[in-house]
A and B are shown apart, each in its own frame.
Chain A
Amino acid sequence: MELLTFNVDDGYAEALIRGMRMSFIRKEEYDALKDCASLGDAKMLLEETDYLPFLQNEPSPCQPNVIRARMKEKLAKEFEHMKSNAAPQLFNFLEKVSHKYMIDNVVNMIEIIKNKDINRKRQAQPDPLGYFRGIEGILRFESDDIAELYQIVLIDTPVGDYFQRLLEDIIKAGAMQNRSIEDVHRQLAEITPEVLRISLKKMWLEDLFDLAKQLNGISKEILEDLIKFEADCMTIQIIYNSISNEELNKPAARETDRKALCPNVGYLYPEYEAQLSRAFDITTLRAAVESFPLYIEMLRNVADPANEEEMNDPSRKTLDDIMYEIGIKKYSLAFDQQFHYGCFYAYLKLKEQEIRNTVWLCEMVSMQLNRQDKAWTKYEKLIPFSCLREP
């Protein structure tokens, strides 16, 4: 009965989101951006879109990374505005969504600390969407022991919960295999930032799924679909990337390490989990997902990681791009129904895609590539809401 009760708490927030949906950059503007001769022109074009207040104070030869930073700042401000106008249930949901960016920020900083890279330390700019109080304190941390970092700095932060669960998991796994405390400590110290990022994101996604299950009927239906799709993309990506990685692809590691990185939600979980954990190359991966036409389509034209030639062939799309294309369509369709929280999540994802597209085009413009090059038309399938237009 969301028809009757949704607008009581969340009507204003939904109205805001619907208004902000109009601010997406349209195909004509992307085409005009493509035809720009220089970065100065590109900046002027972007100033005619909704990004004017954020770009107008930048000096004119505006580098793509500055454009990306300003666009992300705008997105973060909009997100803050949404959160401050949200009733408690929506606020909890939006907080949970922003944990993902906090995880990214923290893992980036851990990476910087581990590599003891002083230059990057000075330039490190955390993603403004994942800002939380105390984020600066992480960079000042001296040693690179994660357990210590957790106990001193992260324990008070919103992402502290995920780190705690990760540490508990590792300690429990160590206890089950009868490893000593020093062994466990060493394993903690050696954990690579990539594995750390994937494990934390996996936990976050499962948490978000649990939160979505408690929402009202329409929100639950739409968010479950979007989150399951994201989880499946993550699983397929992990297995695809591990095909060329000797460490993860050994039969012993497949069951334990690789499976531990794949999320426990999704259409592929739990029925196909066993089959996926046995997949070791592109054919077995394709066989494992053959009950899902969407994923068959996704993997059909993708390059075989074992085959060098195909991987370097520029006419093939990468798995990332294919996943973005399918994702854009799903997120655009989430705006169709009313009275649900899916449109908030979809808005974030679509805005991120818009930032990626714009920055990609600005980089193309600044590199002055030959106009015939295929890379110029990459954005055409990736425009938010383009699937809803007349063909």
Chain B
Amino acid sequence: MATVTTQAFFGFMGVSSALVFANLGAAYGTAKSGVGISSMGVIKPELIMKSIIPVVMAGVLGIYGLIVAVILVQKINDNDYSFYDGYKHLASGLCCGLSSLAAGMAIGIVGDAGVRANAQQDKIFVGMILILIFAEALGLYGLIIALILSQ
């Protein structure tokens, strides 16, 4: 059997892609909605705390990536790691990472537009939250499959 370094490469790529892409998504979501909150907060300061919700939801995506990365790191070991496991863990990391990236982009754009629209018309708040929840669900699907794959 080949040394464990080749299959470990795939495993560790899974770990890093989970974390890196999820954080990219979370960063985009936080940045974009943060810009919206800043513009809106100047005029309507009382709505700022309510409008932090998109930022929190984007942050959660980073946590998804962290969870999957930690779980995968525990599974990769030095001497008894097959190619099958390596590929499986790569798939797991990519699932979680890229889904969270997608969810983060959606949350960023919707959060920005929603928060600014909420300042004009407060009945939009409920609609914005519903849309954000559906966007967050995409990241959740990625997390579920990543956890299943990591076993």
B contacts with A, residue count (CB < 8 A): 11
| Contact status A338-B35, CB under 8 Å | yes
Chain B, residues 29-41, CB within 8 Å of chain A (1/0): the string is 0011001100110
- Do A336 and B31 form a contact, CB below 8 Å, given A388-B43, A389-B43? no
- Tally of contacts, chain A with chain B, CB under 8 A: 20
Instruction: Assess whether B116 is interfacial by the CB under 8 Å rule.
Output: yes
B-contacting residues, A1-51, CB 8 Å: 3
Query: Is A284 interfacial (CB 8 A cutoff)?
Result: no
Closest residue to B112 on the A side, CB-wise? A337
Given contacts A388-B43, A389-B43, whether A337 and B116 have CB atoms under 8 Å apart is yes
Q: Are A336 and B32 in contact (CB under 8 A)?
A: no
Complexed CA–CA distance, A303 and B75 (Å)? 77
A3 and B31 contacting across the interface, CB-CB below 8 Å: yes
* Residues in A whose Cβ lies below 8 Å from that of B32: 3
Least distance between B29 CB and chain A CB atoms (Å): 11
A325-352 contact mask (Cβ, 8 Å, vs B): 1 or 0: 0000000010111110000000000000
Q: Is the CB of A337 within 8 A of B39?
A: yes
CA distance A335 to B43 in the complex (A): 12
Closest-CB distance, A342 to chain B (whole angstroms): 13
A336 proximity list for chain B (CB < 8 A)? 36, 39-40, 116
**What is the minimal beta-carbon distance from A386 to any residue of chain B, in angstroms?**
11
Shortest distance from the beta carbon of A251 to any chain B beta carbon, whole Å: 43
Kindly supply a per-residue 1/0 record for chain A positions 362-391, scoring 1 wherever the CB is within 8 Å of any chain B CB and 0 otherwise: 000000000000000000000000001100
Residues of B within 8 A of A339 (CB): 35
CB distance from B27 to the nearest CB of A (A): 10
Complex contacts, B31 vs chain A, CB 8 Å: 3
Greatest chain B CB density within 10 A among A336, A337, A338 is at A336
Complex Cα distance, B43 from A389, in Å, reads 7
- Give chain A interface residues in 227-242, CB to chain B under 8 Å: none
Report the Cα distance A335→B119, complex, angstroms: 14
Distance from B24 Cβ to chain A, minimum over Cβ atoms (Å): 12
| Interchain CA distance A57-B80 in the complex, whole Å | 88
Contact residues in A for B40 (Cβ distance below 8 Å): 336
CA distance A333 to B40 in the complex (A): 10
Alpha-carbon gap, A336 to B120, bound state (A): 11
Separation in Å of the B22 CB from the closest CB of chain A?
18
Cα distance A339–B112 in the bound complex, in angstroms: 13
Residues in chain B near residue A338, CB distance under 8 A: 35, 39
Min CB distance, B10 to chain A, in Å?
A: 30
Min C-beta distance of B75 to chain A, whole Å? 35
How near does chain B come to A234, taking the closest CB pair, in angstroms? 26
CB distance from B13 to the nearest CB of A (A): 25
A339 to B36: give the CA distance in the assembly, Å: 11
- CA of A335 to CA of B36, assembled, Å: 11
Q: Which residues of B contact A333 (CB under 8 A)?
A: 120
Residues of A within 8 A of B36 (CB): 336-337
Please indicate the chain A residues that have their CB under 8 angstroms from the CB of B28 in the complex. 3
Q: How far is the CB of A4 from chain B (nearest CB, A)?
A: 9
Contact with A along B59-87 (1 / 0, CB 8 A): 00000000000000000000000000000
Give the nearest-CB partner of A388 in chain B.
Answer: B43
Contacts of B116 in A (CB 8 A): 336-337
Q: Which residues in B have their C-beta under 8 angstroms from that of A335?
A: 39
Residue of A whose beta carbon sits closest to that of B116:
A336
**What CA separation (Å) do A388 and B120 show in the bound complex?**
8
A102 vs B5: C-alpha distance when bound (angstroms): 70
- Considering only residues 101-147 of chain A, those with a C-beta below 8 Å from chain B are none
- Bound form: Cα–Cα A97–B131 in Å: 37
Complex Cα–Cα for A333 and B121 (A): 13
The interface bits of chain A over 218-229 (1 if a CB of B lies within 8 angstroms of the residue's CB, else 0) are: 000000000000
Distance between B98 CB and nearest chain A CB, rounded to angstroms = 17
Cα-based distance from A337 to B43 in the complex (angstroms):
13
Chain B contacts for A388, CB-based, 8 A: 43
In whole angstroms, how far apart are the Cα atoms of A128 and B31 in the complex? 40
Alpha-carbon distance between A271 and B67 when the two chains are bound, in angstroms: 52
- The digit string for B87-116, where 1 denotes a CB below 8 A from any CB of A, is 000000000000000000000000010001
C-alpha spacing A338/B43, complex, angstroms = 15
Known: A333-B120, A336-B40. 6 other contacts (CB 8 A): A3-B35, A335-B39, A336-B116, A337-B35, A337-B36, A337-B39
- 20 sampled A-B residue pairs with Cβ under 8 A: A3-B28, A3-B31, A3-B32, A3-B35, A333-B120, A335-B39, A336-B36, A336-B39, A336-B40, A336-B116, A337-B35, A337-B36, A337-B39, A337-B112, A337-B116, A338-B35, A338-B39, A339-B35, A388-B43, A389-B43
Chain A residues at the B interface, C-beta cutoff of 8 Å? 3, 333, 335-339, 388-389
Closest 9 CB pairs of A and B: A388-B43, A336-B39, A336-B116, A338-B35, A3-B31, A3-B32, A337-B39, A338-B39, A337-B116
